[in-house]
Amino acid sequence: MIVSDLSTAGVSRRLGKGQLFLRTGPFISRIQTSIASIQSGIALLYAGFPVYDDAPFADFHVALERPPNLRRWFRPQVTFKFDGWAPFKPLPLNQAFAMFEWGMNWCVVNHAHRYLVLHAAVVERNGCAMIMPAPPGSGKSTLCAALVSSGWRLLSDELAVISLATAGLVPLPRPVGLKNQSIHVIHQRYPDATIGKAAHDTTKGTVAHMQPPAESIARQQEEARPAWVLFPKYTPGHALELQRYSKAQSLLKLVENAFNFTVLGKQAFDCLGQVIDDSDCFTLEYSSLDEAVSQLNALEIPAPCA
């Protein structure tokens, strides 16, 4: 059963009772909330994801609720809870769905130590994955959204989840986070894309999320092998420039973007070493999204994936 098999009222009822068990990639999350914007956001943006009537085990138990004080009504807020504990300060209620997404990322980063987790987008074609680590404002998520809307498979727009056993990329294809002008850019370029309601005045500006492609959800148990490491940078007015990048420098940058490198130690170093050995490394500076997508579509498929 998937989310869209339930009525909107059915999704809301399960969420209200804490009885929605949602699978995203390798994780099952038990979610509880009575907040309407989160209920409708899950119904829309997670429509194709598997849900269970019950599950003997859930990786994450999360709840989003209004604080039990005046902020429940005056300048209302939302609190994210993990196993009954609130790891963050409350946010304005109009940012509730964004907080849900950020909170789910936090769960993976802080508790999924059977994997190496990087701050990076990951897309795939022909079985080969491209890892795109980049700081905020680099255009990473915009480029990721454009690629998956052009036929690449989405593994994640935010977290590269890497198997310690195989150094393969484990899919976690949740909604793609878009910010500020990127929302308009993707909506105009891909009018069929399903984009949820925007949250304004967040710490990241205006934020909205794009529904993952159906094929990416259907293949969310299918690992991909690393083939490219790409460091993208959006620079207005800059001519497209794709350049090979040192593998040694690429390894250092991946270490910098690894959330749990110090937790995993040698396992993480060996895993990243394998990823770099299996990948061609590049930097990409661009201003035209069309040109960037065209250039990446033209990359030669490595022999193991061909």
Which phi and psi (to 5°) does residue 17 adopt? -95, 0
Extended strands (E) in the chain? 20-24, 27-33, 51-52, 60-65, 77-82, 91-92, 115-125, 128-133, 153-156, 159-163, 169-170, 176-179, 199-202, 205-210, 225-234, 241-244, 280-286
How would you classify the pairing of strands 159-163 and 169-170?
antiparallel
How many other β-carbons are positioned within 10 Å of the β-carbon of residue 56? 7
Q: What is the pLDDT of residue 78?
A: 94
The residue type of 278 is D
Q: Among all chains, which residue has been given the structure tokens 């800059």?
A: 238
pLDDT confidence bin for 139, thresholds 50/70/90: confident
Q: What is the pLDDT of residue 219?
A: 96
Q: What is the pLDDT of residue 304?
A: 62
pLDDT in tens, 234-285: 999 889 999 999 999 999 999 999 999 999 999 999 999 999 999 999 999 9
**Which run of H or of E encompasses 99?**
helix 96-111
- Tokens (6 digits) for 203: 């710490």
pLDDT in tens, 4-29: 999 999 999 999 999 999 999 999 99
